[in-house]
Amino acid sequence: MRMRHLPDWDWRIWVAALVTVVWLGVGVVYLATGAGWTFWREGAAAIGGFFEGFFAPLAFLWLVVGLFIQQKELSRTRDEMRQSNVLAAQQATAIEASALTSRQQAFFLIADSVRRQTGNLLGVMLASCDNDLVRSEEQMEQYWTAHAAGDFECFPRLFVARDNALREGNFGRIGADGEFFFGSAFRASLSEEYIRSFRRLLKLAMECDRGGAIRGTVSHTSHGLVYAAMLSQLRAPQAWLFLDAPVPTGPPVDVAGTWWLVFDAADRAGVEVAEFAVRFEVGSDALGGRMIVDGHVSEFEAAAVAGNAVYFRADAPIVFSATVDGGAMRGRAESNYGDVHRFTATRRDEA
């Protein structure tokens, strides 16, 4: 036998329906026993007044029940909208994660191409001059064969292994004194192309790497260590050509003296010291100076002034470039990790 189920109504509807049935029954009994059939002879006005008063409580009852039901439906609608917003947020997060994964996959494909290109550049540089890293043509052929087979680290690994750049206390330092990377116009042009390519790779890594793990890993490969070495040996005017440095204009400015450098608040992430002193000294043939950070003095390894632009770097692979306007300086510092920190500096005294 098939069972019939009662409608799934709100309990208030059931109560109101029961009260309505009882109330109508009481009315029918009253009309049948109390008023009798003489009631229908009272006239339209009297009959209408009776029914108006009789049904008024029922109308009020169903009005109240309707308000409660409407409130419940509104609450249910709000819950559904809240759940819908949660699902939409989860979908947006999933889409963003999928897009991030796609960017990361594309990055690794690009990274292989960049590693192949930068390895080619180092191989050409080694083949273009006498050096103590590759001692014979047979050895060079072996390296090129390994490179062609997919070992894109073979050429930069030569520099890292030769200078013990991975040893404790010397991590990431390759000291070629600029003679190899920038010792000739040809090798300098290849080094500049190497820097351009690796900088683009670091920027791509920043776009698909929230925690910095990918960028840190890329920077500490042998390619990244060679890139840091190139930055550590970079000199003007190469810096103004491809490091997004300002184009020099006007006559050379006088930067001699002490300047107080302060990194912008929005760019202090990863900066250990937010402000420090920089002192420029004009020598007979070159611009020199030092950075004074928490009492530690680092002599400039390179510095130059051209027009209103100044460039300098100390012992770390961080290059500073800025424009000077009177006693104010505005510029940017870029590290071998691709981090860019903008700064301002004010002159504290005269030379």
Instruction: Evaluate whether residue 310 is within a structural domain.
Output: yes
Average pLDDT over every residue of 268-294: 84
Same domain flag for 94 and 199: yes
Looking at residue 170, its pLDDT comes to 45
Closest CA to 207 of 110, 272, 119: 110
Instruction: Evaluate whether residue 19 is within a structural domain.
Output: no
Same domain flag for 117 and 158: yes
Please, how many CA atoms are within 13 Å of residue 53, restricted to the half-sphere of its CB? 5
Same domain flag for 95 and 177: yes
Looking at residue 58, its pLDDT comes to 80
Looking at residue 37, its pLDDT comes to 62
Same domain flag for 181 and 141: yes
Q: How many residues are recorded in the chain? A: 351
Same domain flag for 199 and 284: no
Calpha distance 18→12 (Å, rounded): 10
In Å, how far are 115, 280, 328 from 200, measured between CA atoms?
12, 31, 31
Closest CA to 291 of 343, 239, 337, 249: 343
In Å, how far are 259, 283, 320, 351 from 250, measured between CA atoms?
21, 21, 20, 21
| C-beta of residue 222 within 8 angstroms of C-beta of residue 306 | no
Same domain flag for 171 and 258: no
Per-residue model confidence as pLDDT tens digits over 30-65: 777 766 666 666 777 777 777 778 788 888 888 888
Instruction: List beta partners, residue 258.
Output: 279
Contacts of 71 (CB under 8 A, 6+ apart): none
Which residue shows structure tokens 């991590």?
Answer: 171
Instruction: Evaluate whether residue 78 is within a structural domain.
Output: no
Domain termination residue (choose one: 205, 233, 261): 233
| C-beta of residue 188 within 8 angstroms of C-beta of residue 121 | no
Q: What's the CA angle centered on 10, arms 7 and 16, to 5 degrees?
A: 100
Same domain flag for 272 and 217: no
Instruction: Categorize the per-residue pLDDT at 351 as very low, low, confident or very high, splitting at 50, 70 and 90.
Output: very low
In Å, how far are 200, 240, 312, 337 from 303, measured between CA atoms?
25, 12, 4, 21
| C-beta of residue 263 within 8 angstroms of C-beta of residue 339 | no
Same domain flag for 154 and 254: no
Same domain flag for 213 and 265: no
Same domain flag for 295 and 164: no
The amino acid at residue 302 is: A
Calpha distance 59→169 (Å, rounded): 89
Instruction: Evaluate whether residue 108 is within a structural domain.
Output: yes
Q: What is the extent of the structural domain holding 132?
A: 88-233
| C-beta of residue 262 within 8 angstroms of C-beta of residue 272 | no
pLDDT at 177 over 80: no
Calpha distance 280→257 (Å, rounded): 5
Looking at residue 168, its pLDDT comes to 46
Domain count, the chain: 2
Same domain flag for 108 and 200: yes
Closest CA to 255 of 196, 328, 182, 170: 328
CATH code where residue 303 lies? 2.40.128.20
Same domain flag for 273 and 195: no
Domain termination residue (choose one: 233, 261, 290): 233
Instruction: Evaluate whether residue 327 is within a structural domain.
Output: yes
Q: Which two tokens stand for residue 178?
A: 């600029």
pLDDT at 229 over 50: yes
CB atoms within 10 A of CB 53: 9
Say which range, 81-90, 108-117, 242-251, 269-278, has the weakest mean pLDDT.
Answer: 242-251
- The DSSP annotation for 32-43 comes to IIII-GGGGGS-
Q: What's the CA angle centered on 14, arms 59 and 16, to 5 degrees?
A: 20
Domain termination residue (choose one: 204, 233, 262): 233
Give percent of the chain with pLDDT exceeding 90. Answer: 19
pLDDT at 202 over 60: yes
Instruction: Categorize the per-residue pLDDT at 171 as very low, low, confident or very high, splitting at 50, 70 and 90.
Output: very low
Q: What are phi and psi of 331, to 5 degrees?
A: -165, -160
Instruction: Evaluate whether residue 37 is within a structural domain.
Output: no
